[in-house]
Amino acid sequence: PQISRFVRSSANSFDDETKRSDPHYQRTLEVLTLSWAKRQKVRLWYRSAANGVVKEHVFCPYFIETAAVGQAIYVIGQIEPEDVQRTYRLERIERIELIPSYYSLPDDFDSDALFSQAWGIWYSDQEPVTVRLCFSSAVAKRVRETRWHLSESVEPLEDGELLWKAEIAEPREMVPWIRGWGCDVEVLEPAWLRERIADEAKWTAALYENQTEE
């Protein structure tokens, strides 16, 4: 059942031509799926997105999830010997192999609960953060056409703008989505997210000003 559920939710990712023609990607996915189904540990070599360093770990896959943005596949599980939970992106796994050792899922592991307040695949042990956004009248209707998060609520304002609110586990994951609305959205809270988007707007403006001067 868990494999069936994963395949149904990942149909778009599997249909990506570049991934279907990549034998390394296909083999990595096959080994991970087999490991997950049989509860058999794997040894993998993972490349860090931050510094490019490749580290070797024994890994116990708990759940495989597909992110809607970018059609990327992620696997959540426990690494040994550190005994800490990690989320790995499949494309960054340089090498993987099954090993003759098995594991059990923790009794308290609940994938539905884990992602219930996530924007995508980022989750947190901390309390979710209240995110409030104000969308302009130009995009308010388009925003209301889609339910972006299970916890969201929307409130039409008198001038046609839309107040959007949700409880998000890791708001940093929302940044590309917020950025995509450009000047048609204003971050009201949290303050650090408002500051980050404001800073990015200044950097973008400066970039274009420099090009104009040249």
Residue 42's pLDDT band, with cuts at 50, 70 and 90, is: very high
For 205, the 3-state DSSP assignment is: helix
Q: What contacts 24+ positions apart, CB below 8 Å, involve 65-69?
A: 65/6, 65/9, 65/111, 65/115, 65/121, 66/6, 66/9, 66/10, 66/12, 66/13, 67/120, 67/121, 68/120, 69/120, 69/176, 69/177
Cβ neighbour number for residue 29 with a 10 Å cutoff: 21
Helix 2-9 × helix 23-38 angle, to 10°: 150
- pLDDT above 70 covers a percentage of the chain that reads 78
Can you give the pLDDT at residue 51?
87
Can you give the pLDDT at residue 11?
47
Can you give the pLDDT at residue 163?
96
Reply yes or no on whether the pLDDT at 102 is more than 80: yes
Taking the model in full, what pTM does it have?
0.58
Reply yes or no on whether the pLDDT at 214 is more than 60: no
Can you give the pLDDT at residue 4?
58
Average pLDDT over residues 71-86: 84
Can you give the pLDDT at residue 121?
56
Average pLDDT over residues 89-98: 92
Q: Reduced to 3 DSSP states, what percent helix, strand and coil does the chain have, rounded to the nearest 5?
A: 40, 30, 30
Q: CB of 26 within 8 A of CB of 35?
A: no
Query: Could you report the per-residue pLDDT of 145-189, keeping only the tens digit for each?
Result: 988 888 889 999 989 999 999 988 788 888 888 999 999 999 999
Task: DSSP letter for 33, please.
Answer: H
Query: Could you report the per-residue pLDDT of 25-35, keeping only the tens digit for each?
Result: 888 888 998 99
- pLDDT above 90 covers a percentage of the chain that reads 39
CA torsion sign for 115, 103, 42, 40 is negative
Can you give the pLDDT at residue 140?
94
Give counts: helices (H), strands (E), the chain: 8, 9
| Nearest-10 Cα torsion for 77, 80, 82, 83 | 50
Q: CB of 155 within 8 A of CB of 117?
A: no
